[in-house]
Amino acid sequence: MSDRLSVFKTYKLFVGGKFPRSESGRVYEVTDSKGKWLANAPLSSRKDARDAVVAARKAFGGWSGATAYNRGQILYRVAEMLEGRREQFVAEVADAEGLSKSKAAAQVDAAIDRWVWYAGWTDKIAQIAGGTNPVAGPFFNVSSPEPTGVVAVLAPQESSLLGLVSVIAPAIAAGNTVVVVTSERSPLPALSLGEVLATSDVPGGVVNVLSGKTAEIAAPLAAHQDVNAIDLAGADAELAKALEVAAADNLKRVLRPQPVDWAADPGTERLMAFLETKTVWHPTGSLGAGGSSY
């Protein structure tokens, strides 16, 4: 019996719930920490970035309008599916970050746990970030958090899975949709995560994953009029400054890059980063009168 050839995996983008190749047809070589070739990853273009924004905007109404409980169920399902493919991700993270199998396994387990963490937060956000406000008058004054909209996320460059999950999960837990730019050097765990999301009840377009040159993809996203916010976690100081200038031109909300220990307790900063507060006034003792909001 002759030895069979291995079937190499073809990594693709994840946009609108589908797996397109880059519209340019370009790819780039991905290597492990020792320089050994691992795979060819799609080299996304500006057109891919624009297509991802269109998909994210189309998905926003349904995702933001879903109940918080339903979003929590879906995020928990992501954890379930990631658990089922644990060994694959351990191998990919080990190659991507030059880790031993045991250390890579710890990273994957932490990423799974992080999905569960944010799944539990979906129906508690309003209790923490909203509430009734005391006013000097015969009115109810109620503030409630609402998602910002389409968020561009530059994934951390070094933490290929745990850091990635730590920036995606809070944004979608809060009801936003995202366009994710993967780690430039280590995109494979992120591209594989797209396959997990596709089988996890996450509606198409809620998460869109683009690989390639971070600066090349991020520039059109920062300048895009239909992107409401940008997380610069994966940008260096020079790129972050340029993107902040582009984002200011169309009044995007910007989360600046900062040193983060992705293995630490994530807290709620990123969960609350891309929320807007809607405040409604309503007269007391009058069910027939209409309230006003601002």
Going by C-beta distance under 8 Å and a sequence separation of 6 or more, which residues neighbour residue 17? 55, 198, 203, 204, 205
Q: Is 98 left (phi over 0), alpha (psi -120 to 50) or beta?
A: left
Residue 22 lies in a domain: no
Residue 13 lies in a domain: no
Question: Which structural domain range is residue 208 located in?
Answer: 27-293
pLDDT of 1 reads: 56
Domain at 202, CATH number: 3.40.605.10
Residue 251 lies in a domain: yes
pLDDT of 294 reads: 46
3-state DSSP call for residue 18? strand
Rounded-to-integer distance, Cα 22 and Cα 13, Å: 7
Burial 237-267 (b: 16+ CB within 10 A, else e): eebbeebbebbeeeebbbbebeebebeeebe
Q: Which residues of the chain have pLDDT under 50?
A: 287-289, 291-294
pLDDT of 139 reads: 77
Residue 15 lies in a domain: no
Going by C-beta distance under 8 Å and a sequence separation of 6 or more, which residues neighbour residue 242? 219, 222
Alpha-carbon Rg of the chain, whole angstroms? 20
Tell me the CB-side half-sphere exposure of residue 83, using CA atoms within 13 A: 11
Answer yes or no: pTM beyond 0.75.
yes
3-state DSSP call for residue 65? helix
Query: Both tokens of residue 173?
Result: 């837990």
pLDDT of 293 reads: 47
Residue 7 lies in a domain: no
pLDDT of 33 reads: 84
Residue 5 lies in a domain: no
Is the Cβ–Cβ distance between 207 and 180 less than 8 Å?
A: yes
Is the Cβ–Cβ distance between 183 and 155 less than 8 Å?
A: yes
Tens-digit pLDDT profile for residues 212-222? 999 999 999 99
Residue 138 lies in a domain: yes
pLDDT of 2 reads: 63
Tally of domains within the chain:
1
Rounded-to-integer distance, Cα 84 and Cα 228, Å: 34
Degrees (nearest 5) of the Cα angle 265, 129, 162?
Answer: 25
Residue 93 lies in a domain: yes
